[in-house]
Structure 1
Amino acid sequence: MIGAIWVDEAVTLLRPDFHVLAIGAYGLRNGPSDERSRAWLAEAAATAARPDHEKILAWQDAYRAFGAKPQRTRPSVDALVRRMPPPEINLVVDAYNSVSIRHVLPVGGEDLAHYEGTARLVRASGDEPFDAVEKGETVIDHPEIGEVVWRDDRGVTCRRWNWRQCVRTRITESTVDALFLLERLAPMSLEELSAAEDELRGLLREITPSVRVESRLVGPA
């Protein structure tokens, strides 16, 4: 799964500085938020960046590059740092959200049991299905033409680069195998991206000491 992930050239042309660090974690024993994960979130929140941080501004510029309005549909880390205290979801989501806040880095998580085929970052044709929740009901939506999206063989898994994840592949308390996508733009260095990976690996091992983890950095060709 990790080895097959790719980023389309049309996305790289928008932001040649983009890299994604893909992490596969296998054999997780997830569960509800507890005192450990609340502490992770609280520690991250204590030093949370302001919305005008240079890393957040870089993501706002990336959104504008494909026609999105970042004040209306915010990059994930922008939305997260504006939502303090952070929401408690479950152990694994709390872990990657704390890493996202601490490093001012968009981090997404996917349940591989519900993933179909290869993860790839592309510009949408506009007819790909995206399952979302509106007013408590599941609806099928579609991205805009040219929108940057993560997708698999079945449809869009995350719209507007990292704005909103689909319902199908969300990480839940029953998730066993997961894919994490740590998305980097300048001015974040690749060294800091690696540090974020180490931190996430450590938290996953706190949740499940026996977890098996692999990673791969995907960047411009």
Structure 2
Amino acid sequence: MNATEEWLAAASIDPSVGALRPDYRALLIVAEGLRPGPSDDFSEKLLAEAEAKACDPDQHPHIAAWREAFRAFGAKPKRTRPSADALLRRAPEGLPRIDRLTDVYNAVSVAHAVPLGGEDLDRYTGPLRLTRAEGTEPFVLMSGGEPVTENPRPGEVIWRDDEGVTCRRWNWRQCVRTRLTTRTTRAVFILDALGAMDDSALEAAGRALTDGLLAGSPGAVTLSRLLSA
């Protein structure tokens, strides 16, 4: 087992999250040898296709389930929306164009109505794990062009590593430290599913992401692991 396989095998979901939503699953996809860069014709095509097939988030059962999950740990989903909910609301006016890797996963998120995030694997310290916050964990974001450290609320569902929070409120906001950039060549992608999205639908979303990554980065290599609460 190489270092990447060991890192993926060490990822975990804390039992406290399983107690909150026993139907939760995370499909983790690690990709190496990616071709990063700014948004281009390739990522534009994927986003345009996703915009054309975007559903109404107020009518989709998986988005409704995610709003319930946010309420369960004290978040207000109309103010801090699950990531797929927020993206789907932007689709009619046009999705953001960020960079070619982020564009790929945003397109899949919208097309499959699944919260999906991507992060730079080389920026991680220790294994990835999903847990509920104590409230002291550092979370770094940008404010006014400067890095600012905040803390999650106690009980909030967070992704974290040994250094701190990598994503707050399950899939609401990613930290600055591990976000994808136009230099990222190794990344981990997290697809979040609740019971309203069955395993076959989750696997289909994972295949769409893998296909998009490999089409945009010929020669890239991917690994995947399904975690269940």
Q: TM-score range by the shorter chain?
A: over 0.9
Q: What's the counterpart of residue 128 of structure 2?
A: 119
CA distance in structure 2 between the partners assigned to 1:208 and 1:190 by the alignment: 26
**Partner of residue 210, structure 1:** 219
Q: Paired residue for 1:54?
A: 61
Name the structure 1 match of 2:21.
15
Gap runs ≥5 in structure 2: 1-6
Task: Provide the identity percentage.
Answer: 52
Q: Does the aligned pair in 2 maintain the 1:25–1:213 contact within 8 Å?
A: yes
Q: Which structure 1 segments of 5+ residues have no match? A: none
Q: Over residues 123-165 of structure 1, what are the superposed CA-to-partner deviations in whole Å (9 max), with x where a residue is unaligned?
A: 0000000001123321000000000000000000000000000
Q: Report the CA distance between 1:63 and its aligned residue.
A: 0.3
Using the TM superposition, give the Cα deviation of residue 176 of structure 1 relative to its aligned residue in structure 2, in angstroms. Answer: 0.9
Matching residue of 1:199: 208
- Please say if residues 95 and 200 of structure 1, whose CA atoms lie closer than 8 Å, have aligned partners that are also in contact: yes
Supply the RMSD in Å over aligned alpha carbons. Answer: 0.8
Q: Which residue of 1 aligns with 2:105?
A: 96
Scaled by the length of structure 2, the TM-score of the pair is 0.94
Give the aligned length: 220
Report what 1:130 is aligned to: 139
Distance (Å, rounded) in 2 between the aligned partners of 1:44 and 1:137? 33
Which residue identity is paired with 1:169?
T
Letter aligned with residue 204 of structure 2 = A
The 4+ residue runs of structure 1 with deviation greater than 6 A are: none
Q: How far apart, in 2, do the equivalents of 1:70 and 1:202 lie?
A: 31
Q: 1:105 aligns with which of 99, 103, 114?
A: 114
CA distance in 1, matches of 2:39, 2:156: 34
2:4 maps to what in 1? none
Query: 1:81 maps to what in 2?
Result: 88
Paired residue secondary structure (1:143): coil
TM-score calculated relative to the size of structure 1? 0.98
The separation in 2 between residues aligned to 1:42 and 1:208, in whole angstroms, is: 19
Aligned equivalents of 1:76, 1:215: Cα separation in 2: 21
Which of 40, 48, 73 aligns to 1:42? It is 48
Q: Partner letter of residue 141 of structure 2? A: A
CA contact (8 A) 2:42 2:216 kept: no
Q: Is the CA contact (8 Å cut-off) linking 1:30 and 1:207 kept in structure 2?
A: no
Mapped to 1, the partners of 2:140 and 2:179 lie a distance apart of 11
- Structure with bigger helix share is 2
State the distance in 2 between where 1:107 and 1:198 align. Answer: 13
